């Protein structure tokens, strides 16, 4: 068996076209243009690249992008003050604080400071708790992108066994709850799981987000599985690989995402959709719960 590639780039482009139309319709109907404020503390090269890509994506679909660059030695209090200012600004509908933050700043304190209604990253405790209850305002963009990628690729989720490798609040846990909401049976593993291959071989849908290159090999997947590789690992030679040994695994599974070009573009696309939703909420043009979890 040779896997079909789940092309995140083409699906993300399709979503961006839809978002562009949504932005135009919403602006015409309400007079409000969706606005995303992105806060970058310091000059980490990877974070700078991510923010630049988000700004460019916003411009492509007609979303106003406000980029706020702050020095790495900024105090936590000053950062919280800046977030409070953005929370109060009615022209800013969505606030994203780029992670990671410098070590002297508490990520938890900062993420909790963003209003849930503007938390398009889906990291505020209210949104994480809402996901557990099945009614968040926002879900983190990467898990939401994974769900959208599966749905638009006509992958049946209901009744399937989904195995998640990675338990972060950014990807693993939200993805698990999203798939559970779609009536999959979900197992959560991580790099400390004993006999990881035993669990991954049970997966109809395998999502790997552990941050360890080549963690999942061909012997660790079953024939015909769907594999979503969320890992982004930079090698010494500058190359980028995922957490899955692509060439080995692609020989056995039915569908697989490449790295790069799989989940990454979907993450940005879903951030754009969340930003439009934030504007709808601010304008009273959407219901309280912006994410439809059960299809």
- Are 112 and 124 in contact, with CB atoms under 8 Å apart? yes
- The two counts, helices (H) then strands (E), for the chain are 10, 11
* Cα–Cα distance measured from residue 156 to residue 182, given in angstroms and rounded to the nearest whole number: 9
Q: How far is CA 177 from CA 55, 124, 184, 231, 278, in A?
A: 29, 16, 9, 19, 22
Whether residue 277 lies in the annotated active site: no
Q: Which of 54, 160, 252, 273 is catalytic?
A: 54
Q: Which residues contact 108 (CB under 8 A, 6 or more apart)?
A: none
How far apart CA 19 and CA 215 sit, in angstroms, is 35
Residue 261 DSSP class: S
CA 130 centroid distance within chain = 16
| Residue 192 designated active-site | no
Active site residue 273: no
Contact at 8 Å (CB) between 162 and 182?
no
Give the integer Cα–Cα distance in Å for 177 and 50.
26
DSSP state of 34: P
Q: Of 117, 119, 121, 229, which is the active-site residue?
A: 121
Q: Which two tokens mark 144?
A: 């939401």
Which phi and psi (to 5°) does residue 254 adopt? -90, -35
* Region of residue 162 (phi > 0: left; psi between -120 and 50: alpha; otherwise: beta): beta
Q: Which residues are CB-contacts of 93 (< 8 A; sequence separation ≥ 6)?
A: 32, 34, 35, 36, 118, 275, 278, 279, 281, 282
Owner of token pair 């930003």: 275
Question: Which listed residue (98, 181, 182, 277) is catalytic?
Answer: 98
Cite the active site residues. Answer: 54, 98, 121
């Amino acid at each position: 068996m040779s896997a079909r590639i789940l092309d995140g780039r083409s699906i993300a482009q399709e979503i961006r076209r839809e978002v562009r139309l949504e932005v135009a319709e919403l602006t015409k109907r309400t007079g409000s243009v969706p606005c995303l404020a992105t806060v970058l503390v310091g000059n980490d090269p990877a974070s700078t690249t991510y923010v630049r890509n988000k700004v460019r994506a916003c411009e492509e679909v007609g979303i106003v992008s406000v980029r706020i660059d702050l020095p790495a030695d900024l105090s936590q209090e000053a950062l919280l003050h800046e977030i409070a200012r953005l929370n109060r600004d009615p022209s800013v509908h969505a606030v994203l604080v780029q992670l990671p933050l410098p070590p002297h700043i508490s990520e938890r304190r900062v993420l909790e400071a963003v209003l849930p209604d503007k938390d398009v990253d889906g990291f505020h405790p209210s949104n994480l708790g809402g996901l557990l209850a099945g009614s968040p305002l926002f879900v983190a963009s990467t898990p939401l992108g994974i769900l959208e990628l599966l749905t638009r690729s006509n992958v049946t989720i209901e009744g399937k066994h989904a195995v998640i490798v990675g338990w972060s609040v950014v990807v693993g846990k939200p993805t698990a709850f999203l798939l559970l909401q779609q009536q999959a049976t979900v197992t959560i593993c991580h790099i400390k799981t004993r006999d990881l291959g035993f669990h991954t071989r049970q997966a109809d849908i395998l999502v790997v987000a552990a941050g360890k290159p080549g963690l999942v090999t061909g012997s660790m997947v079953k024939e015909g599985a769907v594999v979503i590789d969320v890992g982004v690992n930079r090698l010494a030679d500058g190359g980028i690989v995922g957490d899955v040994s692509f060439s080995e695994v692609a020989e056995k599974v039915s569908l697989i995402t490449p790295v790069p070009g799989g989940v990454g573009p979907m993450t940005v696309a879903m951030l754009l959709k969340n930003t439009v939703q934030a504007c709808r909420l601010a304008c009273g043009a959407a219901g309280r719960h912006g994410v439809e979890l059960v299809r």
